[in-house]
Amino acid sequence: MSSKETKTDVILIGAGIMSATLGTLLKELVPQWEITVFEKLANAGEESSNEWNNAGTGHAALCELNYTVEKPDGSVDVSKAITVNEQFQVSMQFWSYLVKNGLIHNPHDFIMPLPHISFVQGEQNVEFLKKRFEALSNNLLFEGMEFSDDPEMLKEWIPLMMQDRAGNDPIAATKIDSGTDVNFGALTRMLFNHLESKNININYNHSVDDIKRTSDGLWELKVRNLKSNTTERHIAKFVFIGSGGGSLHLLQKSGIPEGKHIGGFPVSGLFMVCNNPDVVEEHHAKVYGKAKVGAPPMSVPHLDTRYINNKKSLLFGPYAGFSPKFLKTGSMFDLITSMKPDNIITMIVAGLKNIPLTKYLIEQVMLSKEKRMDELREFIPSAKNEDWDIVVAGQRVQVIKDTIEGGIGTLQFGTEVITAADGSIAALLGASPGASTAVHVMLEVIEKCFPQHMEEWYPKIKEMIPSFGVSLMDNPWLLDEIHTSTAQTLGLVDQELDTAEVVEQIVTEEKELVYS
């Protein structure tokens, strides 16, 4: 064991989109601070942020039906959709700032314009979608949304999905053209490349094995170099635990009271990916359906056009499943070792409450390819087995905690930040909408952990995120200005080229650069 000890201002654990975002924000606010990053894997964005592990499309609540709940009186509650959309606008503003100031380049390497569509079948679901459309379409955040239950119109919107579809069951869809496809793996790598150019110390193949408070109030990390198998000690004033499913174990090791009575419920997933380019070309949208009765919110089926390495792809899923691992590269003992004396009652009660969910997830794991194809054919009736392959998605760990509303052992579907009372350490837990709202979530971390600096930092934050501190809903002129400027900066509007032509142009330009 090495006796090496290093002191730094900030340590970020995990090289995913959250650490990349927080590191970039802090470097803009206080360039002189020393920031060190530790990542267990060999590269940035390899776990939950990776483009093959992450649903990928910007969660702006434009089409995700699980963000709009039908209330007992039949009305549709759209408050969560509005909140998620506003949070996504914050991300768009920050990405726009980065591009404008040359901190990252080529926005089409990580974001592309893509229509977002909600699709439902059955009379009851059609009625729900109509009510949802009426509740959202007059809202400025959802301006431009269209509704149709006309099969001829739907053939224009989603030709692949309408091909060979039997005309018995009522169907309907909403469409909004201002949606996006976001490659969070690519964005994460771009942000870390930028941070590396700013002399941030990024350590890959380094595992944080322990974390504890020192007598003078700092944090000491025991870090293992996986290549040399040596151990180092690193001291920091502030620590952010942003290691996806691995965050819970490190939060527990920190010993802060705020981390007590919290557990994690792991959910695995699979996607089907189309290997037939002709089929891929027939679909151009992100299409969300409704989750089946008993299915968790994170398994809402969706058929997504994706742009990965500037190549158009088509994915369907996710098929939820259960694995005791907390990370795709984690251990089969992750769930067991996360059970501690302070959270064991919470975990046991959650297990008893969620037996039907666990049964559903295990059944999903056991599905044959043919059964998975049956689910896909509800979206694409003409889908052929040979055109689709299975891809294993990333692990998600849903937060379990005791709440006033849900009682002991309540499963939380969302993203949560746990911070120490003095703001010296913060941990990110949970899943969707996650990456899409990373900038909003990391600004919350900054506000909670550095309140003494907020007055000084406020002008710079406003420069990066013009809507910071105000509601876009209450400031329509600002919303309009932000929509226009971010879309132009990120290359999402005012182009005569369609998305496919944009990709072709990017590839051509890259070839010209190589050969010039």
> In this structure, how many other beta carbons lie within 10 angstroms of the beta carbon of residue 3?
7
* Close Cβ partners of 168 (under 8 Å, ≥ 6 residues apart): none
Q: What are the backbone dihedrals phi and psi of residue 80, each rounded to the nearest 5 degrees, phi first? A: -70, -40
Helices (H), 158-246: 159-162, 184-197
Pair type for strands 415-419 and 311-321: unpaired
516 residues of the chain, pLDDT tens digit each: 455 678 999 999 999 999 999 999 999 999 999 999 999 999 999 988 888 887 556 689 999 998 998 999 989 999 999 999 999 999 999 999 999 999 999 999 999 999 999 999 999 999 999 999 999 998 999 999 999 999 999 999 999 999 999 878 899 999 999 999 999 999 999 999 999 999 899 999 999 999 999 999 999 999 999 999 999 999 999 999 999 889 999 999 999 999 999 999 888 888 999 999 999 999 999 999 987 766 666 678 899 999 988 889 999 988 887 889 999 889 999 999 999 999 999 999 998 988 888 888 888 888 888 999 999 999 999 999 999 999 888 888 889 998 888 889 888 877 889 999 999 999 999 776 678 899 999 999 999 999 999 999 999 999 999 999 999 988 999 999 999 999 999 999 844 344 444 444 444 444 444 333
Return d(Cα 109, Cα 183) in angstroms, integer: 8
Return d(Cα 188, Cα 98) in angstroms, integer: 13
Which domains are assigned to the chain? 5-65+76-447 (3.50.50.60)
